[in-house]
């Protein structure tokens, strides 16, 4: 584990090996396809409230520069671009980025994809109105460096969204044993319990980088409706929203 990189090569290799399935809603990334509606709605509504934008407008993200760090195949990048955002999608996997570029070209969506980790983008002085840090923090080699690097790229008055899995026995039972071994929603080994991240471990480096946590919500899957929904329970999946003061 290096103090100067956030890249966990084993994690990069694991997701690179599955890259061809990013856009298959019935494949290995099916849970993310199911998760997309609730996280997109949360992002849209929080951004609209923060920047005083009509969330029902055709392109509510118009004029906002957005980074999706750990973007994978671009499942968030494309809908954000369709909502009018100027989107950069960054991922440590060259294979993921190539898949994302091909799909965006086929879809006619403009996204600037880059095979770069967070610390490289931060060192280059990149700044964004919104940083999306979704389902990636549990896959990096250095959580503090990763979050600090992401925080450095948020403009004054900007936002950062973080979505991940809590390190609790409930999460072990549901998100790992249940999802990977019993229901087989995810390939075995997608998540390692020791790499799951508690909310306070998100907040500490963000506080130190001058960010303020302004919202947090749990997210749970309802088998009856076959949908993900927001919840007050942060014990398994959760999202946090941080803002940089103007």
Distance (Å, whole) CA 61 – CA 82: 9
Give tens-digit pLDDT for 151-168.
999 999 999 999 999 999
Distance (Å, whole) CA 60 – CA 53: 6
Residue 205's pLDDT is what?
Answer: 95
Distance (Å, whole) CA 206 – CA 87: 22
Give tens-digit pLDDT for 103-118.
999 999 999 999 999 9
| CA 13 to chain centroid | 18
Residue 181's pLDDT is what?
Answer: 85
Give tens-digit pLDDT for 209-221.
999 999 999 999 8
Percent of the chain at pLDDT > 90 equals 85
| CA 174 to chain centroid | 20
Residue 3's pLDDT is what?
Answer: 52
Q: Between 175 and 133, where is the model more confident?
A: 133
Residue 178 binned pLDDT confidence (cut-offs 50, 70, 90): confident
Tallying the residues shown for the chain, one arrives at 246
- Asked whether residue 169 carries a pLDDT value surpassing 80, the answer given is yes
Distance (Å, whole) CA 214 – CA 239: 11
Interior angle at CA 138, CA 149 and CA 142, nearest 5:
45
Output the CA torsion sign for 117, 97, 175, 42.
positive
Identify which of 122, 146, 202 has the alpha carbon closest to the alpha carbon of residue 8: 146
Average pLDDT, the chain: 94
């Amino acid at each position: 584990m290096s103090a100067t990189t956030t890249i966990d090569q084993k994690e990069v290799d694991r997701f690179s090996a599955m890259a061809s399935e990013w856009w298959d809603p019935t494949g290995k990334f099916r849970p993310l396809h199911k998760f997309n509606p609730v996280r997109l709605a949360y992002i849209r509504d929080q951004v609209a409230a923060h920047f005083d934008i009509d969330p029902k407008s055709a392109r509510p993200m118009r004029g906002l520069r957005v980074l999706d760090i750990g973007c994978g195949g671009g499942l968030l990048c494309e809908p954000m671009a369709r909502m009018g955002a100027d989107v950069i999608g960054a991922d440590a996997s060259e294979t993921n980025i190539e898949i994302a570029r091909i799909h965006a070209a086929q879809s006619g969506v403009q996204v600037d994809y880059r095979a770069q980790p967070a610390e490289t983008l931060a060192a280059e002085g990149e700044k964004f109105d919104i940083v999306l840090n979704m389902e990636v923090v549990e896959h990096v080699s250095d959580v503090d460096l990763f979050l600090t690097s992401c925080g450095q790229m948020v403009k004054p008055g900007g936002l950062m969204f973080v979505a991940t899995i809590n390190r609790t026995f409930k999460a072990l039972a549901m998100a790992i044993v249940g999802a990977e071994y019993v229901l087989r929603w995810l390939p075995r080994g997608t998540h390692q319990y020791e790499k799951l991240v508690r909310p306070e471990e998100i907040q500490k480096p963000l506080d130190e980088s001058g960010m303020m946590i302004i919202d947090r919500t749990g997210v749970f899957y309802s088998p009856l409706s076959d949908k993900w929904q927001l919840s007050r329970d942060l014990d398994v999946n959760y999202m946090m929203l941080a803002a940089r003061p103007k």
